[in-house]
Amino acid sequence: MLDVLLLDVNETLTDLEPLRDDFEAAGLPRHTLDAWFAAMLRDGLALTTAGAYADFPALARELLEAQLVAAGIEPTEERVTGVLSGFTRVPLHPDVAPGLRKVHAAGVRIVTLTNGRAAMSEGVFTAGGIMPLLEHRLDVSVPRRWKPHPDAYRYAAEVCGVPVERMGLAAVHPWDIDGARRAGLQGFYVDRRNTPYPQAFLPPDLIVPDFEALAVELAR
Amino acid sequence: MLDVLLLDVNETLTDLEPLRDDFEAAGLPRHTLDAWFAAMLRDGLALTTAGAYADFPALARELLEAQLVAAGIEPTEERVTGVLSGFTRVPLHPDVAPGLRKVHAAGVRIVTLTNGRAAMSEGVFTAGGIMPLLEHRLDVSVPRRWKPHPDAYRYAAEVCGVPVERMGLAAVHPWDIDGARRAGLQGFYVDRRNTPYPQAFLPPDLIVPDFEALAVELAR
């Protein structure tokens, strides 16, 4: 029985592909998005592992500046802001709004939890029509531990006033599902690209191709 | 006063650039190296953050297979092994052997500590002429915590029988230096590419362009 569906945000709800245009406009190759995004998680998780904390936007900016310098491009404020502001304009995947409407109609509470900043996605959620469905929009700046540290998921359960086992995390990232499961939550793998799920991680409770399919599974 | 110089291995001692040829031979773009390497650290650190552990070679293999599948290439054993075996053939950076010889001659003990597998680098260290200089070659499979978790550095200090503050870590990765410093070690940033050091991390005790310069600084 599920009381609260906890949602990861970047890549799970939002489609980051348009950011490749912003990298290109700043003079960087389009594939820079992949290394940049993985490096942000690497650095945020490294600090969490060491018992420390940094803001996602601060890491995003520093890594982007380093990548511009490495490519021989001056890291002007215009170039840096051009890429970073892209996060506030990315679209939701097309299955998100119809899927979440069904989950909400079934009486399941819906809450987001991101390693980024909750405020960065407000415009995206409003434009995508899901803002009224979200009971809370949480980020890791309160527990000061990035997901998949158990404190991040426990914080969300505490805010919602539910035991962790009545909460399920939906994400496209296996490491996030693994962490949620280790913290006691259920884990739902949203696998839009049909990507093999790594055996290094605890398996998900459900594997679905998108949020419309997840809504059907949760209504069973 | 420094008793033991602790060395990170991948990228710090070894030059991973030749691996780009192996990615190309497997049918993947040369820039795949960057996203693959950052993703391995992301996944290893995610598991450490969640209180779990996976082997570097296991993660390396699973991520490579996923990248081949995503590119529409069959992840045959030949292709996967072709890339992974490249790790055992990469060269040392040219400053490493002369620099470490000077550090050794100054009476400082030298030990490696990698998130990879110590055995994977034996051939590289032998070919590069530094094997006789290394008192221990350690990896995180004993503490089962990836760097920068403090347990990884404490394990190295314990093996060497020195207090953490008489040990210094040399690395090209700011997150590793930050973690070593938080665990009580000194931190030396080897900055061959003149990359800005991110402010999100604790600053290093020394910044040097390579190991020859580090040897000079440690002899002061």
Q: What is the pLDDT of residue B218?
A: 95
pLDDT at A1 over 80: no
Measure CB to CB from residue B46 to each of A65, A66, A148 and give the nearest one: A148
Degrees, nearest 5: CA angle A79-A85-A90:
125
pLDDT in tens, A121-159: 999 999 999 999 999 999 999 999 999 999 999 999 999
Q: Which residues contact A48 (CB under 8 A, 6 or more apart)?
A: A145, A146, A149, B45, B49
Q: With cut-offs at 50, 70 and 90, classify the pLDDT of residue A11.
A: very high
Give the pair of three-digit tokens for residue B210: 């390579």
A212 residue type, one letter: E
Residues of chain A with C-beta less than 8 angstroms from the C-beta of B193: 70
- Look at residue A143 and give its three-state secondary structure: coil
pLDDT in tens, B154-213: 999 999 999 999 999 999 999 999 999 999 999 999 999 888 899 999 999 999 999 999
Tell me which of A16, A28, A43 to substitute to probe the interface with B (most B C-beta atoms closer than 10 Å).
A43
**Are the C-beta atoms of residues A130 and A97 closer than 8 Å to each other?**
yes
Low-confidence ranges of chain B (pLDDT < 70): none
Mean pLDDT of chain A: 96
Q: Minimal Cα–Cα distance from B57 to chain A, Å? A: 11
Q: With cut-offs at 50, 70 and 90, classify the pLDDT of residue A194.
A: confident
The stretch A171-185 carries a mean pLDDT of: 98
The stretch A108-123 carries a mean pLDDT of: 96
Q: What is the pLDDT of residue A195?
A: 85
Q: What is the pLDDT of residue B114?
A: 98
Q: Which helix (H) or strand (E) is B83 found in, with range? A: helix B77-84
Measure CB to CB from residue A54 to each of B39, B43, B200 and give the nearest one: B200
Residues of chain B with C-beta less than 8 angstroms from the C-beta of A183: 50
Give the pair of three-digit tokens for residue A145: 């531990």
Q: What is the pLDDT of residue A26?
A: 96
The stretch A160-170 carries a mean pLDDT of: 98
Give the pair of three-digit tokens for residue A85: 């502001």
Cβ distance B39 to A38 less than 8 Å, yes or no, reads yes
Q: What is the pLDDT of residue A33?
A: 94
Q: What is the pLDDT of residue B17?
A: 96
Residues of chain A with C-beta less than 8 angstroms from the C-beta of B29: 31
Residues in chain B: 220
**Which residue in B139, B116, B109, B112 sits closest to B128, CA to CA?**
B112
**Which residue in A44, A58, A51, A59 sits closest to A146, CA to CA?**
A44
ipTM over 0.85: yes
Q: What is the pLDDT of residue B1?
A: 77
Q: With cut-offs at 50, 70 and 90, classify the pLDDT of residue A187.
A: very high
The domains of chain B, with CATH numbers, are 4-15+90-219 (3.40.50.1000), 19-88 (1.10.150)
Strand partners, B207: B189
Q: What is the pLDDT of residue B40?
A: 93
pLDDT in tens, A62-78: 999 999 998 999 999 99
CA B109 to CA B104: how far, in whole Å? 6
Cβ distance B34 to A35 less than 8 Å, yes or no, reads yes
Q: What is the pLDDT of residue B195?
A: 85
